A and B are shown apart, each in its own frame.
Chain A
């Protein structure tokens, strides 16, 4: 989607509301706005769904794909809020069933803020993996290559694998924290190198669990039926669903505190047109999650998966490597190293902007909540 799409949509609502506010036919106009909005949503998710599963760039669940998803979320959030609040009398917002739906939405918004922070912490871990992979790459690219470099690469790759596969349970976090100052003997150093990314700052809070947050966010999340489906409860549902969905994808893709037991079922109403692509994306990720959950918790991020696969294979190579090595094998490895280097490069390009984007989403949620609260409390329309 482009910026002009959105601004014209917002302009349309604004002008429309000004013109027809007190006139007959207001409701019809609203329905039209809502339909246009849903059509745009449908297009955006269809575009996300169309991303290739495996491609050097823009792959499904890649960093750039996640950035697009968060962008879609930001746009949708703005438009939904426009439909709900722009030029609207607060009295409409505080009537049933909105008097129940809006506070429920705001509770989800608060949970989503915590998830954004958990994901920001998780991205630190991904960055840490990137640094380790970069060490491996630079060792493997050394000319002339020898056992020393193979060992150097292996050391980095083993750290990388264990950093990826530490489970995100709280117990392991506490163990790390307790152990930290007590080691000093050489034997104690073995696995601490990646331990710090699991320590205190990794936590959102004690006993906090990403999967439980998602579970709580899906409570009471039901598509409006009957006449409600075409008026204000509809955008509230859409916004709620998209918040839950985007947060769910982020948790599945990026490591964060306590993801075990993450649901693979979100209450998506598949009987409306706009949710088709969304539901397909959901199913696809859900399937992936079920497959991967038991194996380790690196997350479904395309780059991490790729890194994991390449890492495994390169560990095998470094394990069995003997100087000077077979030419054929070396060429094969060189291709893998180039691939890993490419993954690192994409992480280097994309991780920091993604982190900032998620922070932006966080701030947006904060503002969003404030605006809703202002309308609810002051009872005046948002201009």
Chain B
């Protein structure tokens, strides 16, 4: 540059050299892929050459007059808008480009005059001063125009995934374990990260048509060293737009104190909302914002990433703080699935975050994300442990009426049925966790054929959970005074356990061996029930002397009476017992029938001589039909109803 200043040409011929140089500079400036520094140098050179030309001219008497004329022209174009209530960019592309041209011209004149300031020409200084005034006015105006364009053409988008978000059944944990109904839950398909939300979907936060306008404003403001003003204005509008969007999603700022005091149902829905908003904000909004920054400010070094960070930081921290609050809250078992949702969301967003905030200034945000992920993981493990503890420590003072499926069992099994969905995450988190009840779990020998799933950490923990559940159920069964009812209770509950495992993905983790073992277990309880209830009843029908033809009438009468009393007693108690599963109920009735009815028929058949006697209170058919009333859960009496 110095060379230019010292060598102001004095000869007519030099004019051509300068003109030629000017052309070359212009041609070079039109090249597309120039570095920013080079472009800036060329622009400066351009202004200098213009000045030199006018200086050469000044030898011919025109000189500064020409510069002044050019400035006058630019000033008129710029000043015209100072009194106009319309916005320039609203008035049409011609107006906008005229204005930009005038600003560009003023900028060039300012640069050129500055370059020549060594001449200390008073007139020249005056013109420079005027030009800088005009430039300031124009920059101020451009800032306003920029804000106006950004606000007017800013676009709010409806999140595409608003309606496809995973709606998992929200199980409300209840200390009394009575609120969980045993209904089929079918929503696994709605939760599918890979094809639903992972596709980067970038939207236009500002209408695509105005991006070139914003870029041209950015260009002229940065060229004139008004870059900081541009950034502040740009950041201010975009930051506010993001906050508006944040509240549009229905996410509100909550203090940590509020979150810690929040009731579970409310917290659960906030956690869901967080999971959902986090994805949309990071994957869609921030990705789009990043693109906008790059479109507008790309090629200006770190400016784009600086603006992006300033725009997004506050909102991101707000989201992170909610996560922190949740992670530090009490580790109640009911929180587990929501925590896993949050953990998985964050884990799958990490890559996006690392890309969005890859610059050094953004490493703070990156770090906060990684820390939160770790804490959510710890919190999820703690909730998992709390779940196990809650199962073991769930105590009852009174036996569960009817011996049916205990609500604890329903709750636990319906809850863990969701676990396979989180298999990978749980495996990762539980890898180093040793269940406190390890010794209670007798690790079955699955042999070489066992699939990998049955030996993953989650499978191990699942079996340890059901083992906790089983021992608790055994404890609960001890509350029944009637041994037969203990068996009914255990049969019902283990049968339920097995059904739940078999009927869901859980079977893959428990394995066939476990299922076989537990099938055998409830069948054993069924047999034990039969023995406990019916052995004594049937013993009345036994033939004491298989060799002799028949018993005496008095013995028969006595046996008959004994049988009916015992049978009626069983009928009375066991009609109130319950076997909720119809198949299981049916099976048990059939096998009971086989045993009792057969014995009764044989007994009566062998003593045909006495069967007319009034002492035979129940016919075989009566007994057979009566057995159908058992386990229906409502107490009946044979003696009172006398329905035959």
A: residues with CB less than 8 A from B are: 110-111, 113-114, 117, 120-121, 124, 128, 131-132, 134-135, 138, 144, 146-149, 151-152, 155-156, 177, 180-181, 183-186, 189, 192-196, 199-206, 208, 323, 352, 355-356, 359, 362-363, 366, 369-370
Contact = CB atoms under 8 A, between A and B. Distances in A.
Contacts of B236: 192-196
Given A110-B260, A152-B136, A186-B144, A134 B85 contact: no
A217 B90 CA distance: 54
Contacts of B318: 201
B490 interface: no
Given A110-B260, A206-B253, A148 B328 contact: no
Contacts of B252: 205-206
Contacts of A189: 144, 147-148
B265 interface: no
A43 B125 CA distance: 60
Interface string B120-159: 0000010011001111110110001001100110000000
A369 B257 CA distance: 13
16 contacts: A110-B257, A131-B231, A146-B132, A147-B129, A148-B135, A151-B136, A152-B139, A177-B243, A184-B151, A193-B233, A193-B236, A199-B240, A201-B243, A202-B314, A366-B375, A370-B328
B87 interface: yes
A200 B253 contact: yes
A192 B133 contact: no
A114 B255 contact: yes
B368 A359 contact: yes
Contacts of A185: 85
Nearest to B86: A186
B388 to A, nearest CB: 15
B444 to A, nearest CB: 32
Contacts of B364: 352, 355-356, 359
A78 B572 CA distance: 69
Residue in A121, A189, A193, A200 whose Cβ sees the most chain B Cβ within 10 Å: A200
Contacts of A147: 129, 132-133
B315 interface: yes
Contacts of B244: 177, 180-181, 200
Contacts of A156: 229
Nearest to B232: A131
B134 A196 contact: no
A349 to B, nearest CB: 14
Contacts of B257: 110-111, 114
Contact of A205 (B125, B237, B239, B258): B258
Contact of A200 (B148, B246, B321): B246
Contacts of B128: 144, 146
B58 interface: no
A144 B253 contact: no
A206 B254 CA distance: 8
Given A147-B132, A362-B324, 6 more contacts: A117-B256, A148-B136, A196-B237, A200-B243, A201-B314, A366-B375
Contacts of B117: 144
B228 A138 contact: yes
A180 B324 contact: no
A179 to B, nearest CB: 10
Interface residues of B, number: 55
Given A111-B257, A113-B256, A200-B247, A148 B240 contact: no
Contacts, number: 131
B72 to A, nearest CB: 16
Contacts of B361: 352
Nearest to A113: B256
Contacts of B151: 181, 183-184
B152 A184 contact: yes
B59 interface: no
Given A117-B317, A193-B233, A148 B132 contact: yes
Contacts of B375: 366
A130 B132 CA distance: 25
B500 to A, nearest CB: 31
Nearest to B225: A138
A323 B133 CA distance: 11
B313 interface: yes
B255 A186 contact: no
A148 B129 contact: yes
B229 to A, nearest CB: 6
Nearest to B257: A110
Nearest to A155: B140
Contacts of A323: 129
A131 B134 CA distance: 24
A363 B371 contact: yes
Contacts of B228: 131, 134-135, 138
Contacts of B225: 138
